[in-house]
Amino acid sequence: MKIRVNPWLHFLGALGAGAIVVVFCFVLLWHDPLLFWNDDYEVSILPVFADVARSWSEGHLPLLSPYSWVCGNLAGEFQYGTFSVFVNAAVVLIWKFPLSFPQQAAALSMTHLFVLGMGGYLLARGRNFPSPLSMMVALVTALNGWIICWGATDWFGALGAFAWFPWAWWSLERALDSRRGPWRCLWPAPFVYLLVTGGFPYTVLMLAVLATWLSLKSLGQTRRLSSIWPLIIGLVLGFGLSSPAWLALFDYVHGSAREAQDSAGHFQWLVPASSLPAFILPNWTVKWADFFTRLMPHTATEMACGLVPPIALLAGLATCGRVLVRQIKWELGLLVLVLIISMLPSANVFRWSFRWLPFFHVILALCAAEALSLLDSRKDDVAAENAEGRKIAVSSAVITPGLFGIASVSLAIVASLFFRTSGEHAFPFVWISLGIAAAWATLERTGLRKWLAAIITFASLLATYLCISPNCGVPNYNLDQKLTESAPLDAGRLYLSVYSAPEFAYRLEKKSEPFGTTLRIGSTSIWGGVHLLNGYSPIRPSGVAREFYFAMHGEIPPELGQWLLENEGGPDGKLARLGVDGIIVANEIGWNPQPETEWELAVATEEGRVFHRRSGALSRVRSVTAIDSRPNEHFVIASISRIVNGRNRLLADVTVPPNGASALLTISRPFFSGYRAKIGDALLNVDSYRGLMPVIEIPAGMSGRLSLFYRPWWLIYGGAISLGCLVFILLAAVRALAIRPPQAG
């Protein structure tokens, strides 16, 4: 018989689960203070979030960043959670404290891991698992190998979105529960919104798979199409709330460098079948296809799930297979499907199929909880039969999850030695894992039996990350904390930085001393408010990213860098047309900008050389008489004054001489479709110079205050859809509270 429990007790238990996750992270931070400070977090995530906090302090929605042309459209990048209330609130709050870069990263990740742990607990409790098993599910959900090794320490967008995945699952199952009244369709809306705006397309795809699976499961159980309408309405409302985010993504992926990516990326980071024993022994090392499609030995730490889930499921299948399969046949089907997807090549803009692993870990934890529940009830039945003197099956009396764990770990250790897959982290990790399995078997007969799954999961995951580095080979950079200042660069100039690929030239193994204040690799210029063409962008939607072939980490190809410096640096060259009045050249690169009469050496540091135009800084708004993209036209020079170059808006006083040709203004900022311009009430057409920057043609005789502002179609229509959904949800929630339907247990 199921016992009704006050929902607030579930929430308090979820808070406890989140707190335990945070304690776990503090232990890891004590072991390695730089745990959350890797690769993308350093050159992309953290500097952008510093700008997000700056934007809100200035009173602006962080749609654009003026400090990077490649990473100039924060909403288009999607991964920065521009439209997530939670992400923005967390960033604004954390940046109120005087924390170092690694501490800010840790605070941001731990905040989301706390939420993820809570969601895992509520998901399990919603399926009527007892608190101890729900705690095990929460630990696996928040602390599995993929989340810790990739989401929390490198690809924050993955964590920002997946933090709400178990909440969305929990809410979708509530929407399918017919006992909860007609307004149960409202439950998924806020969590779907938070998931979608969190900033990771893969998680949105996981949500689509989950929703399809839940719908098929409901139809299979009820045989009624009407059973899934609350789920569908909840999804529609959630996607409606988040419409500005995904509409922006669709707009900017189209025609971007990401859309035209090399097909080799679809064959990288697939889960090889030979790596599956790593679910039990994460030091298991076999060859994976890495970021360069090379088959390289890789320690599969991302497959760590705390020892308990795979062993409990295997033990359940071995001991009471038919009964367990009948109970979890839908979950087993989903488990197999997600595992197969993670092993197959990806498609379209998606790549690296191992990103499905966190979804797999959650399903595995739920299946394990079902198996442990069944094994626990079977053990109670065996004890009762034994007390009554009835004959019992030997397997029922002997096989326990702990003993199965000892056998599984021992077998995995022997297999790793035989196949030479132990890797460099085998000792003492394998002996610690065997000891944890032995402790599991020993403590099964004590009063700790109920909480043993959670305890063993916690201990196993902790041992994994203390013995095996959570960094899966991505680069680390020792970035100087002085990056928050503009010096030695001029915040009033626009720079092009020419440097080598950071992941090879500047990683910690190559450059151990603090660096970055001169070169500003990736998007690190954003920290100090320095204007650069360079930036870190996985999507690279801006025209300059495609025109200059910027790589993901912000560098340009060496041959292109040489060409630009030697042939396009003059007063009429491409760099001048864009408004570039500063050049940064890394010391390992021998070229200098030409001609020498145009450039002077302003600063020389241990990192590189900084050149400025001798004529001084270029104006952000310039009137030109001719432009090569319109070779047969001539324009007059307009008078320009009082320029205010804001984040999402530019203002300037403009006067065009009468009785002549029109004037053409070039605006030194990256072009994105969505710019509007007007003088007074007169709307002006905003075009682009080869997709690189906005240009505005102003008729002869017109004068006044020019206003160039960013107002894309997706913001207008997406905002209207989102507002409409929000109003509907609020009105429906008020109505639901007034009716107050009886709550299910």
Which pLDDT does position 738 carry in this prediction? 83
Task: Name the nearest CA neighbour of 469 among 419, 418, 508, 521.
Answer: 508
Give the separation between CA 542 and CA 82, rounded to whole angstroms: 17
Whether the CB-CB separation of 206 and 96 falls below 8 Å is answered with no
| pTM attached to this predicted model | 0.94
Alpha helices of 345-428 — where are they, by DSSP H? 357-387, 394-398, 401-418
Pairing of strands 285-289, 663-667: unpaired
Give the separation between CA 25 and CA 145, rounded to whole angstroms: 13
Task: Tell me if residue 490 falls in helix, strand or coil.
Answer: coil
Give the separation between CA 82 and CA 62, rounded to whole angstroms: 7
Give the separation between CA 587 and CA 604, rounded to whole angstroms: 9
Cis peptide before 428 (omega within 30 of 0): yes
Whether the CB-CB separation of 593 and 611 falls below 8 Å is answered with yes
Which pLDDT does position 725 carry in this prediction? 96
DSSP string, 387-404: HTT----HHHHH--HHHH
Tokens 């203070």 locate to 33
Task: Tell me if residue 717 falls in helix, strand or coil.
Answer: helix
Task: Tell me if residue 273 falls in helix, strand or coil.
Answer: helix
The pair of three-digit structure tokens given for residue 139, joined into one six-digit string: 């630990």
Give the separation between CA 422 and CA 440, rounded to whole angstroms: 23
The pair of three-digit structure tokens given for residue 245, joined into one six-digit string: 């985010």
Per-residue pLDDT of 283-322, as tens digits, reads 999 999 998 889 999 999 999 999 999 999 999 999 988 9
Helix (H) or strand (E) holding 585: strand 582-586
Phi first, then psi, for residue 198 (nearest 5°) are -60, -30
- For residues 77, 83, 85, 91, the Cα torsion angle rounded to the nearest 10 degrees is 30
Q: Which residues contact 549 (CB under 8 A, 6 or more apart)?
A: 556, 557, 560
Which pLDDT does position 2 carry in this prediction? 43
The pair of three-digit structure tokens given for residue 698, joined into one six-digit string: 């102003």
Whether the CB-CB separation of 534 and 491 falls below 8 Å is answered with no
Give the separation between CA 735 and CA 731, rounded to whole angstroms: 6
Give the separation between CA 296 and CA 455, rounded to whole angstroms: 34
Give the separation between CA 19 and CA 121, rounded to whole angstroms: 12
Which pLDDT does position 4 carry in this prediction? 54
Edge-to-edge strands, sheet with 599-604: 531-532, 494-498, 582-586, 608-613, 599-604
Per-residue pLDDT of 74-92, as tens digits, reads 998 889 999 999 999 999 9
Give the separation between CA 604 and CA 686, rounded to whole angstroms: 39
Which pLDDT does position 386 carry in this prediction? 55
Buried b (16+ CB within 10 A) or exposed e, 554-579: bbbeeeebeebbeebbeeebbbbbbb
DSSP bridge partners of 703? 655
Per-residue pLDDT of 664-676, as tens digits, reads 999 999 999 999 9
Beta-strand runs (E) in 65-133: none
The pair of three-digit structure tokens given for residue 663, joined into one six-digit string: 């004037």
DSSP bridge partners of 71? none
Rounded to an integer, what is the distance from CA 420 to the centroid of its chain? 34
Give the separation between CA 468 and CA 490, rounded to whole angstroms: 43
DSSP bridge partners of 53? none
Q: What is the CA radius of gyration of the chain?
A: 29
Low-confidence ranges of the chain (pLDDT < 50): 1-3, 392, 394-397, 744-745
Give the separation between CA 284 and CA 297, rounded to whole angstroms: 10
End-to-end CA gap in the chain: 11
Greatest alpha-carbon pair distance for the chain in Å reads 111
Phi first, then psi, for residue 115 (nearest 5°) are -65, -40
- For residues 696, 702, 708, 712, the Cα torsion angle rounded to the nearest 10 degrees is -70
